[in-house]
């Protein structure tokens, strides 16, 4: 039996071996399909895994509750730890939000920021088992451990001064749910609470304190389960004593939101890749088996059973498919590495890989699809009588497209090889349709990819003021360079307010004089920043970021308005512009009034406009006067941001300014490209290339089949005087028209995909968007993109067309 199958494989192998090209194409298509799917699925799976991984490791808190200890007694707190559904509790830990001054060793000066202090005697515990990354836990009253994601730069030896007491940072720790910015010994908390003039909940009575309770619950997977859990806790505590609750789902979402914007894009690309791959795999594999029909007939006529025949063919398709699938998984994994490493560094959870289930599921699914595609035609051929099989393979297929041939033959002005080619698609409508769809998907990917790149470029040139105000001057930062940029990801949560030490009046005068004298200055804005905790605004990703542009038109910042207008610069007018997240968090809209309450100050502003500032934190832009009314303790103008005249190099300008101002100023010229845009553009390019090459391989397969089938016709053409170049023209035109049509359909289709995915991406980044982020396709671009289908078709047709052009004429005519 086995020997019999071996014989069949060899016998059938002769048939497929002579179709080496198809075997190679099957392998390559399966490879590209598997690689694209592995990459897309692997990245998707990775969006959730790093946080979950760390959360499980640390027994992260499902819910953190802040309780007012002036309302709830210790006994009531203890009772609250025994509510139903709780599986583990930590705390109560004393908690306080206070303003503190931070001094970093060897860096002159200091900064002030609001910090959340929590008293804990040890990092370990049944809940929120904190990972110590550097140093040790606080062992004495004057020691502190800072969060790796908090506002204090994670550097040992840093001094935190709060309430007149200096704490030295002795450890760097990581709590996955960010339960605190600074940890100290519990005994220290009495000295810290209420000392720094920080936020005082409620009436802010002296002596009142706060406590943190950390819970793990049995049911915690959904936000409704979490809400129920929180309800249990609240019910167990006296009314009004629960000041704040935070759940891990919010943190998880915020942790993931730096990756989340890319999910719709990866899903779109993944879906395109999967659809096109399935289509091509089915087409190629089915075509290979059908092409072997005659041989199947011959095999059966010499005594092979249908089962043996089917098995042999499925096996013969399976071999290149398995090789392709394995190679595809390896390629997908390799390509995914750089992207995942970036994520891994972000989360500090060690090296990540594509999850094992993806590495397993993708090739299994692709192989199943391939074998299913092969099994249908193979089964049919297996059931066919030998005579029918031989006849089916030999007989000229029913010819179609005579009318097209005739009509095109009349176009005497067009070269004959062109009209001959154009008539070809009509002869095989089914195959033409499959080619059309394959090229269509490829061209959709191109249109979408190009649009995405343009959109991202706009987003990243409008997300920050850097391209518009490329030169910045600030005082020597006490916290060192690098902290003034609030970027995406965990490390980026360093608040701007910490870094910006205010400039003195003398320093400002010096800057104004130097900038005024220097040629190449277009205009400049003063920049004051602050970060404040506002009631009602989510702090899952940090406090609210305040920016005040002064001395000019805030529109010069280049930040795009989604709605409304910029705030009035007049110091008397209380107006502010906010990002979309601020509006969502506070439930306000443009035109509304909003009371910014910080500490003992409350200022009511009119929301003048919605700004395009995609971020995990709420952002407020207002005039310097309004900002100092909100927070008189703010450090004032920290930076001058300068726009240079067209043609002036920012770096050259900065160097010249540095020469004029001297070493006491930090002068920077923006020339950096955002790493996100590089990473995502690379990924988009890769996926687009994979999709396009699958489409190209599909075209190659179809044209190779067509050249094989029409060998006699091509032989006749050549005998009648068709030159190699005319043959090339004929064959490429036969698929060129299909490619052109597909390309023209693909442009609107690609634009639809783009218009669906970009808003989803921006929404995932907690933002609305200005219209020009989505209206990216200009007419010349559309015209060029419409040719993408043609380009894919021609690229795929080139190899078989040149085989046809180089084929021996005499041999082709001999087959009769």
Partner 1 sequence: MTSLWPAKHAQGIRLARYHGYIERMTALRSGPFSLWPDNDDGGRGTTGRGPTFASMDTLVQLEKVTKRYDSSGPGSAAAPAVDNVSTRIGQGEAVAIMGPSGSGKSTLLNLIAGLDRPTSGAVRVGDERVDKLSEAGAARFRRRQVGMIFQFFNLLDDMTVIDNILLPAQLAGRSRQARRRADELLDTLRIGHRRDAYPARLSGGERQRVAIARALINDPGLLVADEPTGAVDSATGDEIGRLLLDMNAAGQTLIVVTHSPELARRYARRVIHIADGQIASDTLTGHGAPDGARP
Residues that bind ligand ADP (CB under 6 A): 811, 814
Q: Are strands 601-611 and 561-564 parallel, antiparallel or unpaired?
A: antiparallel
**Does 564 help bind partner 1 (rule: CB under 8 A)?**
no
CB 265 within 8 A of CB 40: no
Q: What is the radius of gyration, based on Cα positions, of the chain?
A: 34
- Report the residue number, 136 or 814, with the smaller CB distance to ligand ADP: 814
Q: Which residues in 580-719 belong to E strands, given as ranges?
A: 593-598, 601-611, 619-622, 639-644, 665-669
Site for partner 1 in 419-438 (CB under 8 A): 423, 427
**Does 20 help bind partner 1 (rule: CB under 8 A)?**
no
Q: How far apart are CA 218 and CA 370, in angstroms?
A: 43
**Does 709 help bind partner 1 (rule: CB under 8 A)?**
no
Biggest alpha carbon–alpha carbon distance for the chain: 105
Name the residue with the smallest CB distance to ligand ADP: 811
Q: How far apart are CA 34 and CA 111, in angstroms?
A: 52
Residue listed under structure tokens 């019999």: 4
**Does 712 help bind partner 1 (rule: CB under 8 A)?**
yes
Nearest distance from residue 354's CB to partner 1, in Å?
Answer: 47
**Does 802 help bind partner 1 (rule: CB under 8 A)?**
no
Read off the tokens for 671: 């020339």
**Does 203 help bind partner 1 (rule: CB under 8 A)?**
no
- Report the residue number, 587 or 721, with the smaller CB distance to partner 1: 721
Q: Are strands 601-611 and 210-217 parallel, antiparallel or unpaired?
A: unpaired
**Does 394 help bind partner 1 (rule: CB under 8 A)?**
no
- Report the residue number, 166 or 811, with the smaller CB distance to ligand ADP: 811
Nearest distance from residue 18's CB to ligand ADP, in Å?
Answer: 15
Nearest to 684 by CA among 335, 403, 236, 346: 335
- Report the residue number, 10 or 399, with the smaller CB distance to partner 1: 399
The site string for partner 1 over 720-759 (x = CB under 8 A, - otherwise) reads xxxxxxx---------------------------------
**Does 566 help bind partner 1 (rule: CB under 8 A)?**
no
First to last CA, the chain: 37
**Does 711 help bind partner 1 (rule: CB under 8 A)?**
no
Geometric angle at alpha carbon 185, from 184 and 190, rounded to 5°: 90
Contact stretch for partner 1 (CB under 8 A) within 353-361, 365-373, 399-407, 498-506: 399-407
Q: How far apart are CA 489 and CA 535, in angstroms?
A: 24
Q: Are strands 63-68 and 210-217 parallel, antiparallel or unpaired?
A: antiparallel
Contact stretch for partner 1 (CB under 8 A) within 200-208, 636-644, 650-658, 805-813: 805-813
Kindly determine how many residues on this chain lie close enough to bind partner 1 according to the rule CB under 8 A: 35
Nearest distance from residue 807's CB to ligand ADP, in Å?
Answer: 11
Beta bridge partners of 602: 597
CB under 5 to 8 A by kind: which of partner 1, ligand ADP, none does 416 bind?
partner 1
Q: How far apart are CA 486 and CA 326, in angstroms?
A: 42
Among 87, 405, 569, 588, binds partner 1 (CB under 8 A): 405
- Report the residue number, 396 or 516, with the smaller CB distance to partner 1: 396
Q: How far apart are CA 730 and CA 714, in angstroms?
A: 9
Nearest distance from residue 725's CB to ligand ADP, in Å?
Answer: 24
Cα-based distances in Å from 207 to 97, 195, 204, 465: 14, 10, 9, 44
Nearest distance from residue 811's CB to ligand ADP, in Å?
Answer: 4
CB under 5 to 8 A by kind: which of partner 1, ligand ADP, none does 721 bind?
partner 1
Nearest to 668 by CA among 441, 460, 481: 481
CB under 5 to 8 A by kind: which of ligand ADP, partner 1, none does 405 bind?
partner 1
Q: How far apart are CA 555 and CA 468, in angstroms?
A: 10
Residue listed under structure tokens 């999967």: 274
Geometric angle at alpha carbon 269, from 263 and 270, rounded to 5°: 85
CB under 5 to 8 A by kind: which of partner 1, ligand ADP, none does 412 bind?
partner 1
- Report the residue number, 602 or 811, with the smaller CB distance to partner 1: 811
**Does 716 help bind partner 1 (rule: CB under 8 A)?**
yes
CB 684 within 8 A of CB 692: no
**Does 399 help bind partner 1 (rule: CB under 8 A)?**
yes
**Residue 174 CB contacts under 8 Å (≥ 6 apart), including other chains:** 130, 131, 133, 147, 148, 149, 348
**Does 803 help bind partner 1 (rule: CB under 8 A)?**
no
**Does 607 help bind partner 1 (rule: CB under 8 A)?**
no
**Does 417 help bind partner 1 (rule: CB under 8 A)?**
yes
Nearest distance from residue 731's CB to ligand ADP, in Å?
Answer: 22
Residues that bind partner 1 (CB under 8 A): 396, 399, 401-402, 405-406, 409, 412, 415-417, 423, 427, 712-713, 715-726, 805-806, 808-810, 813-814, 816
């Amino acid at each position: 039996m086995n020997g019999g199958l071996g014989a069949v494989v060899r016998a059938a192998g002769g048939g497929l071996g002579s179709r080496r090209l198809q075997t190679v194409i099957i392998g390559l298509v399966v490879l590209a399909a598997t690689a694209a799917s592995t990459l897309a699925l692997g990245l998707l799976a990775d969006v959730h895994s790093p946080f979950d991984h760390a959360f499980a490791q640390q027994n992260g808190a499902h819910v953190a509750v802040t309780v007012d200890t002036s309302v709830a007694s210790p006994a009531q707190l203890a009772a609250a730890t025994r509510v139903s559904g709780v599986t583990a509790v930590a705390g109560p830990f004393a908690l306080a939000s206070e303003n503190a001054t931070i001094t970093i060793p060897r860096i002159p000066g200091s900064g002030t920021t609001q910090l959340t202090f929590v008293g804990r005697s040890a990092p370990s515990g049944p809940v929120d088992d904190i990972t110590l990354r550097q140093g040790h836990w606080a062992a004495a009253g004057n020691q502190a451990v800072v969060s790796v994601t908090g506002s204090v730069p994670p550097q040992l030896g840093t001094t935190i001064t709060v309430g007149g007491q200096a704490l030295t940072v002795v450890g760097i720790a990581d709590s996955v749910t960010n339960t605190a910015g600074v940890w100290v010994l519990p005994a220290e908390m009495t000295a810290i609470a209420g000392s720094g003039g920080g936020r005082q909940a409620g009436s802010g009575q002296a002596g009142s304190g706060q406590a943190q309770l950390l819970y793990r619950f049995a049911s915690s997977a959904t936000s409704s389960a979490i809400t129920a859990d929180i309800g249990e806790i609240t019910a167990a505590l006296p009314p009004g004593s629960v000041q704040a609750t935070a759940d891990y789902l919010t943190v998880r979402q915020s942790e993931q939101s730096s990756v989340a914007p890319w999910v719709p894009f990866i899903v779109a690309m993944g879906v395109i890749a999967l659809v096109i791959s399935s289509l091509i795999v089915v087409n190629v594999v089915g075509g290979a088996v059908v092409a072997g029909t005659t041989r199947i007939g011959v095999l059966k006529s010499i005594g092979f059973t249908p089962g043996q025949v089917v098995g042999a063919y499925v096996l013969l398709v399976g071999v290149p498919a398995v090789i392709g699938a394995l190679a595809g998984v390896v390629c997908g994994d390799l390509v995914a590495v750089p992207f995942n490493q970036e994520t891994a560094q972000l989360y500090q959870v060690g090296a990540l890989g594509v999850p094992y289930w993806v590495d397993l599921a993708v090739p299994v699914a692709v192989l199943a699809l391939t074998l299913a595609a092969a099994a249908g035609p193979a089964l049919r051929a297996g059931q066919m009588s030998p005579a029918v099989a031989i006849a089916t393979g030999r007989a000229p297929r029913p010819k179609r497209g005579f009318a097209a041939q005739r009509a095109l033959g009349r176009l005497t002005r067009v070269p004959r090889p062109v009209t001959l080619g154009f008539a070809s698609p009509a002869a095989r409508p089914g195959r033409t349709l499959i080619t059309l769809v394959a090229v269509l998907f490829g061209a959709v990917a191109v249109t979408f990819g190009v649009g995405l790149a343009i959109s991202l470029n706009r987003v990243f040139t409008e997300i920050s003021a850097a391209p518009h105000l490329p030169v910045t001057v600030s005082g020597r930062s006490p916290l060192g360079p690098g902290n003034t940029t609030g970027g995406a990801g965990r490390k980026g949560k360093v608040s701007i307010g910490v870094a910006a030490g205010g400039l003195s009046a003398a320093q400002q005068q010096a800057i104004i004089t130097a900038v005024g004298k220097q040629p190449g200055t277009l205009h400049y804005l003063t920049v004051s920043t602050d970060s404040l905790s506002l009631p009602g605004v989510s702090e899952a990703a940090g406090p609210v970021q305040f920016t005040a542009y002064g001395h000019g038109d805030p529109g010069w910042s280049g930040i795009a308005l989604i709605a409304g207008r910029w705030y009035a610069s007049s110091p008397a007018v209380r107006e502010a512009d906010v990002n979309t997240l601020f509006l969502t968090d506070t439930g306000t809209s443009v035109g509304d009034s909003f009371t910014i309450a910080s500490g003992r100050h409350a200022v009511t502003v009119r929301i003048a406009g919605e700004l395009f500032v995609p971020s995990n934190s709420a952002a407020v832009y207002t005039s310097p006067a309004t900002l100092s009314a909100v927070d008189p303790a703010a450090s004032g103008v920290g930076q001058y941001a300068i726009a240079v005249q067209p043609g002036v190099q920012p770096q050259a300008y900065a160097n010249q300014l540095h020469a004029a101002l001297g070493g006491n100023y930090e002068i920077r010229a923006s020339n950096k490209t955002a790493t996100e845009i590089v990473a995502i553009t690379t990924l988009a390019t890769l996926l687009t290339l994979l999709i396009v090459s699958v489409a190209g391989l599909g075209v190659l397969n179809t044209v190779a089949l067509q050249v094989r089938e029409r060998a006699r016709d091509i032989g006749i053409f050549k005998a009648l005087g068709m030159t190699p170049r005319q043959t090339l023209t004929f064959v490429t035109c036969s698929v060129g028209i299909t490619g052109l049509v597909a390309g023209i359909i693909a442009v609107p289709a690609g634009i639809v995909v783009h218009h669906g995915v970009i808003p989803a991406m921006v929404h995932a980044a907690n933002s609305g968007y200005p219209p020009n982020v989505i209206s990216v396709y200009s007419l010349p671009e559309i015209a060029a993109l419409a040719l993408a289908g043609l380009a894919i078709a021609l690229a795929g047709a080139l190899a078989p067309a040149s085989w046809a052009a180089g084929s021996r004429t005499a041999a082709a005519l001999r087959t009769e």
